[in-house]
Amino acid sequence: MHSSTRIVFPAGQTEASSRIVHLHRLTPTAAAPGERGASGAVRSSEAGRWVVITEQTPFHPLDHTWPDQPGDSGQLVVDGETLTVADCLTAARPTEGGSLTVDGQITARRGSKDHYWYAAHVLSDAHDGQDLRGLAGADAHLRVDTARRRALSTAHSVCHLVGLAINTAFRERWRKQVTTDGLGRPDFDALAITSSRLTESGSTDVHRLGSSLRRRGFVADGLADVLPGLVDEVSATVHGWLAADAPITVTADGDRLEDIRTWTCALPEGTHHTHCGGTHPERTGELAVTAVDMALDHDGKTLTVTTRTHPSGDRP
């Protein structure tokens, strides 16, 4: 474990073979599948799940600092035995030695060079009663659930496109110059977003329209009155981009988990780049959107954006 996990998922790979370098039991302060709250902590009943770390992986892990895209699920096949991977989390260990920390346990700054960073494959509870320590050093074949990956990748790219479309729809609501996106619009999405959550069927993004954003020059007055029309505009813009079948690429500064990755989409109006550690399809034509909605809370200071998505050609 003297180097970070080598990752192959940025290129869309969903299978790989690798050596198992470490096995670990989850503790109550680490996250487990299906029980993760806002703090990243889990109930004590989830303690004991096996975590498997390999030299390289096609599995995308949940980011412990910006948990938008869930970790992949799938299988590890070792010596003919199939182990079910229920989730994949981020883990870290100091380069000078020390304990492995997983997800909510991690206190190091994201990508810190004084830590190694790992994709931690969390096995299902069906393996809790097994002693798997003898698998350390064995070769494993890793297979991601491709249908689930495809659905999450779709939701993720649509989420980026919806953010760009909102920037376009809100472009006249600024009285000061601010950072712009790749299309030259004020980047409302980047400046206001506070959380993003993806599922296999869409996304939910929360934007804060508080005093900080208003001091930057955003005009929220009257937004509620025109929001239905803006929703229609955003939806039309996104569907236009899907019809354009624009290319999407994910590039990386290196092949390790902590290396910076960038999502790029060459839209008709311009090319947008954003740092993103998730997975994505290769073209906007592979995406389908069945619904886009925006809603303000009672005091008009929180905007929640929801989408319903599915891979193009699949039934929603």
Percent above pLDDT 90 for the chain: 88
Residue 205 maps to a domain = yes
Q: Are residues 12 and 133 in the same domain?
A: yes
Residue 93 resides in a domain? yes
Is 94 in the same domain as 187? Answer: no
End position of a domain, from candidates 79, 110, 144 = 144
Domain co-membership, 105 together with 221: no
Q: Give the tokens for residue 67.
A: 């948990």
* Residues 247 and 185 both lie in one domain: yes
DSSP one-letter code for 79 = T
112 burial level (CB within 10 Å; 0-12, 13-18, 19+): middle
Which domain, by its residues, includes 76? 6-144
We report the CATH number of the domain holding residue 125 as 2.40.30.130
Q: Could you give the strand order of the β-sheet that contains 270-275, starting from the edge strand earlier in sequence?
A: 248-252, 261-267, 270-275
Q: Which of 90, 117, 144 is the last residue of a domain?
A: 144
Q: Which residues pair with 129 in a beta bridge?
A: none
Is residue 126 very low, low, confident or very high in pLDDT (cuts 50, 70, 90)?
Answer: confident
pLDDT tens, position by position, 241-287: 999 999 999 999 999 999 999 999 999 999 999 999 999 999 999 99
- 15-25 and 139-144 as β-strands: parallel, antiparallel, unpaired? antiparallel
What is the rounded CA–CA span in Å between residue 18 and residue 78? 10
The last residue of a domain, from among 144, 163, 185: 144
The string of pLDDT tens digits covering residues 56-106 is 999 999 999 999 999 999 999 999 999 999 999 999 999 999 999 999 899
Quick one: pLDDT band at residue 314, thresholds 50, 70, 90?
confident
Whole-model pTM: value is 0.94
When divided into structural domains, the chain yields a total of: 2
**Long-range contacts formed by 184-190: CB under 8 A, 24+ apart:** 184/270, 188/218, 189/163, 189/164, 190/163, 190/274
Euclidean distance between CA atoms 23 and 50, whole angstroms = 7
Instruction: Judge if 171 and 256 occupy the same domain.
Output: yes
- Residue 125, domain member (yes or no): yes
The answer to the question of residue 316 being in a domain is no
Inside any domain, residue 66: yes
Spatial CB neighbours of 109, under 8 Å, sequence gap ≥ 6: none
